């Protein structure tokens, strides 16, 4: 092994989708924005489409075009950013369904692509994307006459089940949409777990498919193995890495592994970070460099050839805790310098 290997378990992905779909009372789509959270949208979406997913969501029209090329026809691809200036040729060519976010987007869409399908995104309180109540009131009748493919909104606090914002947004969404004929969608991964009131006709999970919280029962999908380049023994008083931030207190065997913050291994997780050499937990020593990390392998029964950063022993959320961030950022930070291996497809 000469470069780190990112293994994506398509079987675990499919299991996570099935388990979320079993909890959800409506249709269960899949969110594959940002290259399926860094894991490879084409491979991820092809697997899920084979297993029954009929509708995918991306952030941008360009992502939708790439996905259309990977999936072919017969699958619906929806775009959260809606219909932005200049998007019309891509939306037409790739037969995308933009989630229109404003009156401006609505006008742009019907002027440039009359009769082309669309969805509507409403703001129920997050103040990020979507039409405000007033805009929706003005447009509602005209929009509904054209049978939108979905009318959706997004929850700001769904990963905190007891947060009062959930019920508040549910109420706002219902007030804006009760009685309409179009399919409705409010929930991502977190909303599915909040229960039936939040499910409506369609849910849009992302992170839960990829093995992340708040779906606590998710199977890990990403495994990252990093090769060892060199091993040395250091004496008490010697230091390892930039800034001399770690000093040996006892004779220590140190391995240098071939990945660093340029590969999305967030430097801030250094002080708490560990890897696994087989079943031995190895501490990260000193600072994470751009392409290299020092680890302690004193307790390893034999010199490891590679170590696991992500996988069976530690999840994206374990790493996120060390780095003071969320699993989403751990996944989407993983760089391009890995050999990618897809298993379980």
Ligand X SMILES: *Cc1c(COP(=O)(O)O)cnc(C)c1O
Residue environment code for 82-98, b if the CB has 16+ CB neighbours within 10 A, otherwise e = bbbeebbebbeebebbb
Q: How far apart are CA 170 and CA 69, in angstroms?
A: 36
The least CB distance from residue 157 to ligand X, in Å, is: 11
Binding of ligand X by 83 (CB under 6 A)? no
Task: Name the residues annotated as catalytic.
Answer: 33, 242
| Range in contact with ligand X (rule: CB under 6 A) among 61-69, 89-97, 184-192, 249-257 | 184-192
The least CB distance from residue 78 to ligand X, in Å, is: 10
Q: How far apart are CA 43 and CA 34, in angstroms?
A: 13
Q: How far apart are CA 288 and CA 265, in angstroms?
A: 8
Q: Are 327 and 213 in contact (CB under 8 A)?
A: yes
Binding of ligand X by 68 (CB under 6 A)? no
The least CB distance from residue 278 to ligand X, in Å, is: 32
- Based on its alpha-carbon atoms, the radius of gyration of the chain, rounded to whole angstroms, reads 23
The least CB distance from residue 190 to ligand X, in Å, is: 6
> Which residue from 131, 151, 188, 221 is in contact with ligand X, where contact means CB under 6 A?
188
Binding of ligand X by 31 (CB under 6 A)? yes
Binding of ligand X by 189 (CB under 6 A)? yes
Q: How far apart are CA 325 and CA 261, in angstroms?
A: 15
Q: Are 331 and 222 in contact (CB under 8 A)?
A: yes
Query: In the structure encoding, which two tokens stand for residue 172, read together?
Result: 């706002």
Q: Would you say 131 is a known binding-site residue?
A: no
Q: Would you say 290 is a known binding-site residue?
A: yes
> Which residue from 80, 136, 200, 246 is in contact with ligand X, where contact means CB under 6 A?
80
Binding-site sequence positions: 128, 290
Binding site for substrate: which residues? 128, 290
Site residues (vs ligand X, CB under 6 A): 31, 33, 80, 154, 188-190, 204-208
């Amino acid at each position: 092994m000469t470069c780190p290997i990112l293994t994506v378990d398509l079987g675990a992905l499919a299991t996570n989708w099935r388990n979320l779909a079993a909890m959800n009372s409506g249709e269960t789509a899949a969110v594959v924005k940002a290259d399926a959270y860094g894991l490879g949208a084409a491979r991820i979406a092809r697997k899920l489409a084979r297993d029954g997913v009929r509708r995918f969501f991306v952030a941008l029209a360009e992502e939708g075009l790439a996905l259309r090329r990977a999936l072919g026809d017969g699958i619906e691809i929806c775009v959260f950013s809606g219909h932005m200036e200049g998007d019309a040729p891509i939306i037409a060519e790739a037969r995308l369904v933009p989630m229109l976010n404003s009156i401006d987007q609505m006008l742009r869409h019907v002027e440039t692509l009359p009769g082309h399908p669309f969805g509507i995104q409403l703001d129920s309180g997050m103040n990020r994307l979507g039409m405000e109540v007033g805009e929706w009131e003005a447009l509602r009748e005209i929009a509904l006459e054209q049978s939108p493919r979905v009318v959706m909104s997004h929850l700001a606090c769904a990963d905190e089940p007891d947060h009062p914002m959930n019920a508040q947004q549910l109420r706002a969404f219902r007030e804006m949409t009760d009685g309409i004929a179009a399919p409705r969608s409010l929930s991502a991964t977190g909303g599915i777990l909040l229960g039936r009131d939040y499910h409506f006709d369609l849910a849009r999970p992302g992170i839960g498919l990829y093995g992340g919280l708040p779906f606590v029962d998710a199977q890990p999908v990403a495994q990252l193995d990093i090769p060892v380049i060199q091993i040395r023994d250091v004496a008490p008083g010697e230091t390892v890495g930039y800034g001399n931030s770690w000093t040996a207190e006892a004779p220590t065997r140190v391995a240098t592994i071939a990945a660093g913050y340029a590969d999305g291994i967030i430097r801030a997780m250094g002080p708490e970070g560990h890897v696994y050499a087989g079943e031995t937990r190895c501490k990260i020593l000193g600072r994470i460099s751009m392409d290299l990390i020092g680890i302690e392998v004193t307790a390893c029964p034999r010199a490891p050839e590679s170590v696991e950063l992500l996988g069976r022993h530690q999840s994206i959320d374990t790493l996120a805790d060390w780095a003071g961030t969320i699993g989403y950022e751990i996944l989407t930070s993983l760089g391009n310098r890995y050999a990618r291996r897809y298993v379980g497809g």
